[in-house]
Amino acid sequence: MQNIDTATLLLIAATVVVTLIGFKDNAFFERYKFNIAAIKKGEKVRLLSSGFLHADVNHLLFNMLTLYFFAPVVVAYLGALLFVCIYLVALLCGSWLSFVFHKQEPYYSAIGSSGAVTGVLYAAILLNPSMSLYLFFVPIPIPAWLFGVGYLLYSIYGMVTKRDNIGHDAHFGGAIAGYVLTLFFAPSIFFDSLWIVGLLALPIALLFYLKQNNKI
């Protein structure tokens, strides 16, 4: 079992507690989930609070396990304070991008910490691009950077086709926040791993191109 810092434990604990309250109290769940109409009315707290709610146990476990495995990389390189900063800003940026893409859909709702977790994942890839990932359905390790690029491209595909209920825009917003903040906090990455900086920028540039040309 790997060492885990206090900041990561507190974020996981807070998310678990809020999620469990949401499971038992539907009024609480409805009051704090992401909802376009409510946010437009001034309930901005939902941009943050929705990131601590989850739909079910599997949703919660997937996000918290991902955070558990990648948070130590960010903490080791940047420290706990900047890690928490990346997590919370990525959460808010994910919610903000969801708002931008769905602002004409008053009934659109979303929950989950995926945006924040994706931000941490991208920070970890930038800080340690040589690390590998082991996925349940792939028997061999794959480079983290390959997973990162593929994940963003899949998110773009999901945003274009709109064939599922996954909040791809929140994932993308979180990834952008993690990317920008990590480069700001650790500019040496430009000199040490310029190739990964450019590679991870490609899907982000593609998203802005598609949005600018009304493709999504």
- In this predicted model, which residue has the larger pLDDT, 153 or 25? 25
Average pLDDT score over residue span 193-212: 87
d(CA 23, CA 83): 28
- The tally of domains found in the chain comes to 1
132 part of a folded domain? yes
Residue 149's domain spans which residues?
6-212
58 part of a folded domain? yes
54 part of a folded domain? yes
Residue 76: CB atoms within 10 A of its CB come to 14
Find out whether 19 and 53 touch, Cβ atoms under 8 Å. Answer: yes
Average pLDDT of the chain, as a whole number: 90
Average pLDDT score over residue span 194-199: 92
For residue 116, give the CATH number of its domain.
1.20.1540.10
1 part of a folded domain? no
43 part of a folded domain? yes
Strand partners, 132: 143
48 part of a folded domain? yes
Q: For the ranges 7-11, 54-58, 97-101, 205-209, which has the lowest average pLDDT?
A: 205-209
Average pLDDT score over residue span 159-182: 84
192 part of a folded domain? yes
12 part of a folded domain? yes
Name the band, by pLDDT with cuts 50, 70 and 90, for residue 1: very low
